[in-house]
């Protein structure tokens, strides 16, 4: 793997970083917490104008056609800024599902709009009290002629109130299928959930929601395979997001440790605290290498069955542990609302629990190791 950044890759990083520094201050992140809509219009528009929303979408659909490695560079910056945007659910997961299995009509209808930010799609996959694998999909899609009737409940659906379409995983006679569902369709009801990360999430109930067979994505019974492949690529970007958040949390803590004087010397001069920060820096750099290796392998068309879950598992643990030790260095103020440290701390745990949690990631890695 070549670790040297190409000029174009560095330009992507610099562009994303500069835009986020200008348009995504911490106050914006605070303002968006538990907001029912949750999408800051100006920031979302800026991302579209710079081509970041279409970064991973092929040029024929109005995107940039770049690879997962470039995506990882951008996601590290999004994590550093704690950017409150639906990029992951719409421009990554939903776009990848459509690219992999969508019909020509579905691709034409949505990919261009996802790339320019004029439409937001979000997946509805998790169900209450169920696992995160294929067996966890129980929402029923009963075939009735040219339509399916969807009945069941999904939880933790991000940005559902801002979505133009839901990408719903449902169980049919053929297995698990994916459907495009209008969130305003008759029989769909939403309830906002208050999460630890305080991003907009919803519980959605489907009460006999009629969906045309034309809105099924892919062949019958192929939904889980499509979703599983999209998730494997997606969690590499979440690992990069975790590294970005951990890195900023540590940078701010190092700055604080160099300024805060206790017993006539800065906090950073105390060996125990200095070692905390050294360990955190080591974990962050190690996680970054793992992310780049996973993304590079994906771009080369190699298997990421082990690398992708390893990257998310390791980087989310590094993020959580970094915020934990940083909170100790800050002391009691780390948990007061006036300081940003509590935001990193909450987001680290929320990200670790989301989009395949630690036990499921360990199952995936073990399955590949023992294969």
Structure tokens given for 277: 């920060």
- Which of 347, 328, 325 has its CA nearest to residue 30? 347
Say which residues have a Cβ less than 8 Å from residue 301's Cβ, sequence separation at least 6. Answer: none
Cα separation, 211 vs 216, in Å, equals: 8
DSSP 93: I
pLDDT at residue 4, as a whole number: 78
Q: Are strands 121-124 and 165-172 parallel, antiparallel or unpaired?
A: parallel
pLDDT at residue 286, as a whole number: 97
Q: Are strands 188-193 and 140-144 parallel, antiparallel or unpaired?
A: unpaired
The total of other beta-carbon atoms located within 10 Å of residue 320's CB is 21
- DSSP assignment of 198-232: ---EEEEEEEEEEEEGGGEESSTT-HHHHHHHHHH
CB-CB contact of 89 with 66 (8 Å): no
Is the model's pTM score more than 0.85? Answer: yes
Structure tokens given for 349: 């745990």
pLDDT string in tens for the chain (371-residue length): 666 788 989 999 999 999 999 999 999 999 999 999 999 999 999 999 999 999 999 999 999 999 999 999 999 999 999 999 999 999 999 999 999 999 999 999 999 999 999 999 999 999 998 999 999 999 999 999 899 999 999 999 999 999 999 999 999 999 999 999 999 999 999 999 988 888 899 999 999 999 999 999 999 999 999 999 999 999 999 999 999 999 999 999 999 999 999 899 999 999 999 999 999 999 999 999 999 999 999 999 999 999 999 999 999 999 999 999 999 999 989 889 899 999 999 999 999 999 999 999 999 999 999 98
pLDDT at residue 16, as a whole number: 96
Judged on CB neighbours under 10 Å (0-12, 13-18, 19+), 192 is: middle
């Amino acid at each position: 793997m070549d670790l040297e950044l190409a000029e174009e890759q560095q330009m992507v990083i610099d562009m994303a970083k500069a835009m986020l520094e200008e348009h995504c201050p911490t106050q914006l992140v605070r303002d968006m917490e538990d907001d029912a809509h949750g999408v800051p219009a100006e920031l979302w528009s800026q991302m579209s104008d710079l081509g970041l929303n279409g970064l991973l979408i092929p040029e024929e659909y109005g995107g940039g056609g770049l690879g997962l490695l470039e995506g990882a560079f951008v996601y590290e910056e999004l994590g550093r800024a704690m950017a409150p945007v639906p990029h992951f659910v719409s421009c990554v997961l939903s776009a990848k599902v459509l690219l992999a299995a969508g019909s020509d009509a579905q691709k034409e209808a949505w990919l261009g709009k996802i790339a320019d930010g004029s439409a937001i799609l979000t997946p509805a996959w998790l169900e209450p009290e169920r696992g995160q694998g294929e067996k966890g999909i129980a929402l029923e899609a009963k075939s009735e002629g040219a339509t399916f009737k969807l009945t069941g409940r999904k939880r933790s659906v991000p940005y559902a109130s801002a979505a133009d379409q839901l990408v719903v995983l449902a169980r049919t006679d053929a297995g698990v299928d994916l459907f495009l569902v209008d969130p305003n369709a008759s029989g769909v009801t939403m309830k906002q959930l208050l999460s630890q990360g305080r991003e907009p999430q919803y519980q959605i109930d489907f009460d006999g929601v009629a969906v045309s067979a034309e809105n099924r994505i892919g062949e019958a019974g192929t939904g889980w395979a499509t979703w599983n492949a999209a998730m494997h690529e997606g969690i590499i970007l979440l690992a990069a997001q975790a590294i970005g958040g951990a890195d900023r949390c540590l940078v701010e803590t190092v700055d604080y440790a160099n300024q805060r004087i206790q017993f006539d010397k800065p906090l950073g001069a105390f060996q125990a605290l200095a070692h905390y920060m050294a360990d955190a820096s080591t974990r962050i750099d190690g996680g970054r290498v793992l992310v780049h290796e996973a993304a590079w392998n994906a771009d080369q068309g190699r298997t990421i069955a082990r690398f992708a879950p390893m990257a998310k598992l390791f980087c989310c643990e590094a993020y959580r542990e970094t915020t934990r030790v940083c909170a100790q260095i800050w002391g009691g103020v780390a948990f007061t609302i006036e300081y940003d440290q509590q935001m990193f701390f909450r987001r680290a745990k929320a990200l670790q629990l989301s989009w395949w949690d630690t036990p499921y990631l360990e199952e995936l890695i073990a399955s590949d190791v023992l294969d």
